Structure 1
């Protein structure tokens, strides 16, 4: 049996392009293709996507054609994982762009070795970037007493202390916030009023986090 695996959201024009790419190769080789469509996001794990079901159901010597590597797996490690599963079952797996084949050839063994090394390098670089980022934030806290997150908010410590909730940025302004809320001001207006040169821009997310911990009910303040 010959399969063509294509993935994309419903109505995605790229799905049709994938189908055309696979169909063109199949026509040249004289193959009849059974297409398997997947609409699950690539952000989902391999086990949650149709490719997992296809690998499980396919039999020895079956062929699976994939048009694009980016539509097939999230990263090198996952590509390697799926490729090895196919090899264990004797399934021929071929990615057309870039050209990668998982079969019983010597070339496949070389690809697996290289991809395995690449996967290790990816993990190393991710860990390295994380370590450097944490070190930089620690230095900023030591020097300035805080660092700014991606929302521009000041963060005064890394993580929350065990057994204790991290102090929210807006807690010192709680009485002002409650006063604004009691007057019927919108969250957008409150954020604008709270923003200043010292504290920077107050995001809607910061206000939502504050109100989640300290809900406001009319004139009454409820603490969790």
Structure 2
């Protein structure tokens, strides 16, 4: 059985080295020999199926293989994508280990039950996103707002793609620091974003 270590490569070389160190340290403690590293150079916002991680999981891994990642935020930038990856690994019987959190999803009954619940959560989240999008578009259309690409250059922030997700977690009472970890950005960035967009718990 093959053992894989996943690294999401960024411009910060030290961050990549820290990821690799965390994966190797965990692998040594758990007896995973001969690690093959998967390096992703594209943004975690891109669908996981279109990244190197997706290619390996969909085309290369087989039942019983092991994938180790330094922390859950490295898998993807959105909760939905993370849930989809966990569900895929469970269905393919690929053992997924998250080193920093000391979490493992293997072929045990408990892991299968957890992965099933996460898969259901992903489906529910997908439906919510679809429903919210349709409702928002219908409301804007009813209000006479012209849909489509706006004229001129609109101000867009990096975290706008997670705006609904951030608002949802704020409403649930999560701290901004916790939300920053979920969407994969520094806490200071999230604080600034919420201030600029005037976002708070509703």
Question: Which TM-score applies when normalising by structure 2?
Answer: 0.59
- Give, in angstroms, the shift of residue 121 of structure 1: 3.8
Match of 1:159 in 2: 147
In structure 2, distance between residues paired with 1:138 and 1:59: 48
Match of 1:13 in 2: 14
Question: Contact between 1:8 and 1:71, CA under 8 Å: does it hold in 2?
Answer: no
Q: 2:76 matched to 1:64? A: no
Question: Contact between 2:22 and 2:100, CA under 8 Å: does it hold in 1?
Answer: no
Which of 16, 34, 37 lines up with 2:36 in the alignment?
Answer: 34
| Mapping of residues 140-151 of structure 1, within 5 Å | 141=143
How big is the alpha-carbon RMSD for the aligned residues of Structure 1 and Structure 2?
3.1
In structure 1, distance between residues paired with 2:63 and 2:126: 32
Q: 2:121 matched to 1:106? A: no
Q: What per-residue deviation string (whole Å, max 9, x for no partner) do you get for residues 154-211 of structure 1?
A: xx63327xxxxx9x87xxxxxxxxxxxxxxxxxxxxxxxxxxxxxxxxxx627xxxxx
In structure 1, distance between residues paired with 2:78 and 2:70: 16
Aligned in 2, Cα 1:158/1:51: closer, same or farther, shift over 3 Å? Answer: same
Greater Rg by CA: 1
Instruction: Say which SS state the counterpart of residue 99 (structure 2) adopts.
Output: strand
| Mapping of residues 120-131 of structure 1, within 5 Å | 120-127=123-130, 129-130=132-133
Instruction: Count matched residues.
Output: 151
Instruction: Say which SS state the counterpart of residue 39 (structure 2) adopts.
Output: strand
In structure 1, distance between residues paired with 2:25 and 2:106: 21
Q: Which runs of 4+ in 1 moved over 6 A?
A: none
Which structure 2 residue ranges, 5 or more long, are not aligned?
Answer: 155-202
| Mapping of residues 138-217 of structure 1, within 5 Å | 141=143, 157-159=145-147, 205=153
Instruction: Say which SS state the counterpart of residue 20 (structure 2) adopts.
Output: helix
Question: Contact between 1:61 and 1:92, CA under 8 Å: does it hold in 2?
Answer: yes
In structure 1, distance between residues paired with 2:123 and 2:64: 30
Aligned in 2, Cα 1:157/1:80: closer, same or farther, shift over 3 Å? Answer: closer
Q: What per-residue deviation string (whole Å, max 9, x for no partner) do you get for residues 115-159 of structure 1?
A: 1332244235434544664576468x4xxxxxxxxxxxxxx6332
